[in-house]
Chains A and B, each alone.
Chain A
Amino acid sequence: MASATDEGRRTARPSTRPRPRTRGGGQRARRRGLGHGRRGEGRRVHRRVRRRGLGRRGLDRGGGDAVGADGTGTTDRPGRRSATVWRRAALAAALTALLLGGSGFFYAAHQLRSAPSARNQALTDTGATTRVSGDVAEGLARVFSYTPATTDAAERSARTVLAGRAARQYADLLAQVRAKLAEQRITLATQTVRTGVIELDGDSARLLVFLDQTSRRDKGAATSAAAQLTVTAKYQGDRWQIVDIKAR
């Protein structure tokens, strides 16, 4: 636009430039002049364009910014205010979303880590699992294997193997059978066949134990029986002690 008017003016103005020989050539030259221009002209064009551009920008500054920012084309002042409101709302929303999201993530992570499956260390903590299985298996075999002559030894080992309710149950049982053991010369041998840790949480554990028990009366034939026990154990001192035994 600016160039076109400039060209028009240029043609109207008396020129010191040598006239082009032909019309066509002149046009070509003029056209070329449009593109490249002579130095002075080009600069003038530029200047004018710049001035116009500035002017437009200066004009637009009134409401143009607001229109651009909120896109609704509202009038000047309320537009700018609503833009700030919008920006604040967006900021608040972003902050809220981020904080909520972060909290959600932390909560979900906590849920994962405190789930029952996470608290139960059976098999996940192989060392502790082996330890409790070994202690319980060995303890049961020791306590439930005796001959009439070794009931005292069995009772002594019961003091380290058993505790709480299990210890009381065992004492009652032994008191009942002691006389019979001596009289009928009963021997009992117990072997732990399988031990499965159901739950292991820190210093308490619950296990399912399968036992094979072979009892022999005097010199009679041996009779075997299987026993299934649910055992509750507590870690006390430096070993796992059986605190409860339930037959299954």
Chain B
Amino acid sequence: MKRAKTLTVTALVVALGFCGTGAWTYAQARTDEELAFGRERDTALAEGRDRLTVLNTLDASTRERATAGIQAWRDASTGPLRTELGRTAPTVGASARATVTEAALTALDARAGTAKLIATVRVDVTRAEPPPRPPTANAWRPS
């Protein structure tokens, strides 16, 4: 009986120790600065790619779409660039669709929240479709 009790207590202590060590290991990994920096770097790169795609894309087939595109530019930028892009007047014209083919961070300051990124972007430009003409059949037209 006594031996069983000792065994039980030992098992509980060992299990508790195992769980505690696990928790400690996890906490260490969770708060590891280098790991956190690595995650931050990947986030910055992924988001940078997305923003760059947006900033090089514009659907200007209609005025509304152009307005929405410029709004997307504003959402993807900040600081002076945002102000500058906000001044762009939406016009109907050629549209551009961008694809980031490669990107890399050259610097990351996690504390300041800034990163420098270089990327190669492929931009496909489509010319504006001719505007739809009003129907002209069977109608008297002033000359």
Residues of A within 8 A of B (CB): 91, 94-95, 98-99, 101-106, 108-109, 112-113, 115-118, 120-124, 194-198, 207-208, 210, 228, 230, 248
A208 touches B102 (CB 8 A): yes
B8 touches A112 (CB 8 A): no
List residues 75-121 of chain B with CB under 8 A from any CB of chain A. Answer: 101-108, 117-120
- Given contacts A112-B30, A210-B118, A248-B120, whether A124 and B102 have CB atoms under 8 Å apart is no
A196 touches B41 (CB 8 A): no
Q: Bound state CA distance, A197 and B45, in angstroms? A: 11
- Given contacts A194-B118, A195-B106, whether A124 and B21 have CB atoms under 8 Å apart is no
Interface size class of B (residues with CB under 8 A): 35 or more
Q: How far is the CB of B9 from chain A (nearest CB, A)?
A: 10
* B12 in the interface (beta carbon within 8 A): yes
Interface string of B42-80 (1 = CB under 8 A from A): 100000000000000000000000000000000000000
Q: Is the interface of B mostly helix, strand, loop or mixed?
A: helix
* Partner-contacting stretch, out of B32-40, B125-133, B135-143: B32-40
Max chain A CB contacts within 10 Å: which of B11, B16, B103, B104? B104
B19 touches A98 (CB 8 A): yes
A123 touches B29 (CB 8 A): no
* B123 in the interface (beta carbon within 8 A): no
Q: Give 20 pairs: A residue, B residue, CB < 8 Å, sorted on A.
A: A91-B8, A94-B15, A95-B15, A98-B15, A102-B21, A105-B26, A106-B25, A108-B29, A109-B22, A112-B30, A117-B42, A118-B38, A196-B103, A196-B104, A196-B117, A198-B103, A208-B102, A208-B104, A228-B102, A248-B102
B120 touches A123 (CB 8 A): no
Q: From B22, B105, B106, give the contact of A104 (CB < 8 A).
A: B22
Q: Bound state CA distance, A83 and B11, in angstroms? A: 20
- Given contacts A98-B16, A101-B22, A194-B106, whether A228 and B120 have CB atoms under 8 Å apart is yes
Chain A residues with CB under 8 A of B104: 122, 196-198, 207-208
Chain B residues with CB under 8 A of A117: 35, 38-39, 41-42
Instruction: Return the 10 tightest CB-CB contacts between A and B, nearest first.
Output: A196-B104, A105-B22, A102-B22, A98-B15, A102-B19, A102-B18, A112-B29, A248-B120, A109-B29, A208-B104
Chain A residues with CB under 8 A of B34: 124
A105 touches B23 (CB 8 A): yes
Q: Bound state CA distance, A208 and B102, in angstroms? A: 7
Q: How far is the CB of A211 from chain B (nearest CB, A)?
A: 12
- Given contacts A91-B12, A105-B23, A230-B102, whether A124 and B18 have CB atoms under 8 Å apart is no
B35 touches A99 (CB 8 A): no
* B28 in the interface (beta carbon within 8 A): yes
Q: Bound state CA distance, A207 and B11, in angstroms? A: 52
Q: From B23, B37, B103, B119, give the contact of A124 (CB < 8 A).
A: B37
Please name 17 further chain A to chain B contacts, defined as beta carbons within 8 Å, in addition to the given A101-B23, A228-B120, sorted by A numbering.
A105-B22, A105-B23, A108-B29, A109-B26, A113-B35, A115-B38, A116-B42, A117-B39, A117-B41, A117-B42, A118-B38, A122-B41, A123-B108, A124-B34, A196-B105, A210-B118, A230-B102
Q: Bound state CA distance, A123 and B36, in angstroms? A: 12
- Given contacts A95-B12, A120-B42, whether A105 and B106 have CB atoms under 8 Å apart is no
